[in-house]
Each structure stands twice: as C-alpha cells, then as structure tokens.
Amino acid sequence: MRIPWWQTAVVYQIYPRSFADSDGDGVGDLAGVTARLDHLAWLGVDALWLSPIFRSPMADFGYDVSDYTDVDPVFGSLEDLDHLVAEAHARGIRVVLDWVPNHTSDQHPWFDASRSSREDPKRDWYVWRDGGGPDRPPNEWAAAFVEPARWTRDPATGELRRQPDATGGTDHTGTAWTWDEGTEQWYLHLFLPEQPDLDWSNPEVEAAMHDVLRFWLDRGIDGFRADVVHMIGKDVGEGLETMPQSDIGKGEAVHALLRRIRTLLDGYEGDRMMVGEVFLLDPAEMATFYGTRDELHLSFNFAPLFTRWRADRWRRRIEESERFVPPEVGWPTWVLSNHDTVRHADRYGSEARARAAAVLLLTLRGTPFLYAGEELGLFDAEVPVDRIVDPGGRDGCRAPIPWTRSSDHGWGPEPWLPFPPAPAEHSLEARRDDPRSILHLYRRLLAARRASPALHRGDVVLLDTPEGVLAYDRVAGDDVRRVVVNFTGEQVAVPDLLAGWWVEVDSGLDGERPAGSALGPDEALVLTRE
C-alpha cells in the first residue's frame, strides 16, 4: 500500500519570529528560515510547519490574521515565501502553513464590514448577539489569555506542572464577548477581543476560507496546520447562548465542515495534508476528528504535553493512542513542545530527561512534531516582567534560537525576546561541535527512524517491565526495534529486556552507559536484534 508522506515524516515547527533573522531587526523572517534550511536538511527532518506568516496586527503574534493571502512585511514578501518553498523542496523538505480558521483579526476587512452596520452583507460572517444590553454578555463563555497560564515546579521531582483548569487547556477568566458601541451588539471572541470568531455555519465564510486554502495549494504548499479547528463548528444558531462552553467542538457541524475541507485537499495531487490543532485533551474526543479517514489527515494529541515524566503515565498515553487511533481510524501524532507550552526540557527539569523523551517522541507509532530548538536542548527563557509581550504569557518558549557562540548568537543587537539560558553553550555552533550533544542524538534518532520501517511505520507492542521503566517493540515484518526507557533517576537492571539486543541509539552520553544489563538514570535506548 502506498504510504502518504505525512505518515512517515518528521515535522519541524518553526516559530518564524524566533527562528532566524536575516535583516537584523530583531525579529526572525522568511529569508532567515531559507538561510537555515541546510541545518534542517542536515538534521534530517521531512517537513516544516511555519507558525502564521500572514499579514497581522500581531495582537496574538500572527494568530490574528488581517489578510490570509499575503505575507506580513515583518516576515518578508510572497516572493520570499515562494523562494523558501522552492529551496525547501529542492532539499526534499515539505512546507506546511498555519491556517487560522476560527477567528480573524479585528482589523480584517471582513470584520471591518461586519461591524460597520447590522445591515452589512458581512454582518453574519461573525457571531453577533444582543445579550442583556451593554452590561450583560449573551452567556458565561470566557476568553483565553485574560490571565497567563500558571506553572509550578514540584520540589521533589524538579518537574513543572500546569495548574489544572476547567476547560482543560486555557485559563478562562474574562468574558468572550465584546460590546460594539456603534451597532449595539456583542461579538464573540474565544481568544482576544482582537480575534473575533467567524461564523462557519455561514456558507459564504466557508467558501471564502476554501478560497484561502486553494490559493496556497495552487502555490505549491504541502499542507496546513489548522489552528483550534475543533472550534469552527460551534452551534451558532439558537442554541449558542445556552450551550456550555465545554461543549464547543463536540457537535456534528464541525465534522461536516472537515469532510468538505478533506475533499478539497484530496482533490490536489501530492497528498496535501491537514493537521488539526484539536485542543481537547480527552484522546477519545480528539480521535473523532479523524472521522472515518475522511476528516483531518492528522490530529494533534496534546495529552502528552501535560503528562508527567513517569513510565506508567506514558504507558497510558501509548495505550490510549493505540486504542483511539487504530489504523482503521487514522495515523497518530506525538508532540512534546510547541510555541504555547513550556519546553519539555524545562517541564521535565533536566537535559537527561529531554534526551530520553526525544527517544520516545521519535520511536512511537505516529507522526512526530518537533519544536525548533528542542534539538538544541533549549530551556525556556526567563523573561523579565517588563519584557513579556504575549497576552498568554507564553514568551519563554518563544525565545530566539541561539545559532552561534558569539555574543549576538547570530541575531541583531536586540532580539524581540531574551535568549534562553546559557545560549552560547546551547547554540547550534556549540552543539554541532560536540558529537555527544543532544543535537547529535536527534540526528542519530532521525537517521535510525528513516532507515527502519519498524520505526517509521511498524506496529507497537508494549512489554512488561519493572516499575519506572517503559519498553516496547516496533515491528514491520522482519524489521524489529526495541525501545527501553528508564523514567527513574536510579540505575535499573533489566537483563531480560536487553539480552539478545544491540544498542543502536543511546540517549545517554556515549560510553558512559552502564554496560550489559542495566539502564542508567533517565536513559533510553533504541535496540536492534543481535
């Protein structure tokens, strides 16, 4: 059976503001990305996902789009994007754009028209309601970002933990409605007031958004990451005002919308792909967004982003992924870090754990998504209060990538955010010079994965282990790999798991691994048969 590229690919997420700066203005840009493509080819990734590069007033750093078919000048031009895509393709690397369908910027011409009068033909492109007049919003729904996410470090384990909240993802403390003085109605915004929600039950909205997809597909883009795509099917009819916010994403409407998007994408040559940001932490609900292989090609499984560094918890994540995304449903995804969450090296509290986690990420059954900088073992930057610019307080994981040891680390004099801790030591230059660095571990893992059908497409079989250890085999016909991960800070003897196997990749520092039958603290191994 022919396997589409996105099933065997490793996707690398670039947050363009923070990746590489070609013009010294302190903000990364497309020409900067193009100039670093050789690094990505050397590393061995198969696809890039660019966080939004469209025209935007940047209230949410690009997730508030004012023109879906043009590049924001801070990142360059359409020609710069065409050039980036051509150069990436020349290296066998595909390019995925970040499409933001749930909301536009309040500066988008569609919203300008919509808010201009109740009679405007685009009034119904957004969600307007009377509520109880200017003092009472239509319902209790809350917007994201009113308070930044809270994380606390567990003194015993060194791990960071996110404070749980009712919605399972976002701190909601302010109303999701803003009163418009001019037309005396409220408009809905599940994120900032600068991000009004579109009404996807309006066929004109759907058609306009399909045109956006076609614009990029015609230009040779390989796929899309669809921002909070589970939210586009809100029942915006009569039921909206009484619907609990936690029901967003659970109705039938979104599935019909996704089937039509899938048909659009599959009508193009070249396996164009959509990965949906389905921010529902229940894997059973998340999995419904694959439909019957007729909705999203891939759906982010975010439960691992909030999973502690414990063998039993990770085993449960793998069992859930296997149970809810079996082959007849679709192909799973794995992700440890992104632009919204404290980096996993920081969450787990050490580079040793980050290295072992990389082994998991790149050997589990599913498409892995790397977040730029994790291959350097970056921790979050400590951003002083007066330099915090993100309404969600997610600045730390968006720190600029340190490319060189030199004092500017390859950036202009003043990057938009401070660097991560110890930037010289974590720089690409330093990591490349050290064959034992985490960078070389990522590269070895990517090469091992590419070379082994078992690793990039085989079944996964969980094995019995002592407490604190996770082990599984990956199997594709005759090709077999074994992965063994020690989640404890102690050496653990696992003679039965290791007998008859050779070490192919070791997350630990080469040569320092306890010989023979034991795993070192927080050590992970990829094994091949003797």
Site residues for ligand TEU per CB under 6 A: 60, 63, 100, 144, 149, 169-170, 191, 227-228, 277, 279, 339-340, 392, 394
- Pairing status of strand 459-462 against strand 469-476: antiparallel
**In the structure encoding, which two tokens stand for residue 450, read together?**
């590419």
Nearer to ligand TEU, 31 or 378 (CB): 378
Amino acid sitting at position 70:
D
Nearer to ligand TEU, 41 or 389 (CB): 389
Nearer to ligand TEU, 174 or 220 (CB): 174
What residues have CB less than 8 Å from 153, skipping those under 6 apart? 159, 160, 161, 349
What single DSSP character describes residue 243?
S
Listed residue (42, 91, 88) closest to 440, CA to CA: 42
Does residue 227 carry a catalytic annotation?
yes
How would you classify residue 95: left for phi > 0, otherwise alpha for psi between -120 and 50, otherwise beta?
Answer: beta
Residue 141 C-beta: closest distance to ligand TEU, Å: 14
Catalytic choice (60, 277, 320, 374): 277
Residue 300 C-beta: closest distance to ligand TEU, Å: 10
**In the structure encoding, which two tokens stand for residue 524, read together?**
């992970």
Residue 282 C-beta: closest distance to ligand TEU, Å: 14
What burial class does residue 92 get, using C-beta atoms within 10 Å of its C-beta: 0-12 exposed, 13-18 middle, 19+ buried?
Answer: exposed
CA–CA dist 254, 265 (Å, integer): 16
**CA 386, 392, 395, 398: dihedral to nearest 10 degrees?**
-160
CA–CA dist 325, 254 (Å, integer): 19
Count of alpha carbons within 13 angstroms of residue 373, beta-carbon side = 31
Catalytic choice (29, 60, 194, 227): 227
Does residue 433 carry a catalytic annotation?
no
Nearer to ligand TEU, 125 or 371 (CB): 371
**In the structure encoding, which two tokens stand for residue 474, read together?**
């990956």
CA–CA dist 257, 253 (Å, integer): 6
Q: How long is the chain?
A: 530
Residue 162 C-beta: closest distance to ligand TEU, Å: 8
Residue 51 C-beta: closest distance to ligand TEU, Å: 7
Residue 66 C-beta: closest distance to ligand TEU, Å: 14
Listed residue (191, 52, 201, 197) closest to 111, CA to CA: 197
Alpha helices in 274-343 (DSSP H): 283-287, 311-324
Nearer to ligand TEU, 279 or 411 (CB): 279
Nearer to ligand TEU, 169 or 508 (CB): 169
Give the catalytic positions in this structure.
Answer: 227, 277
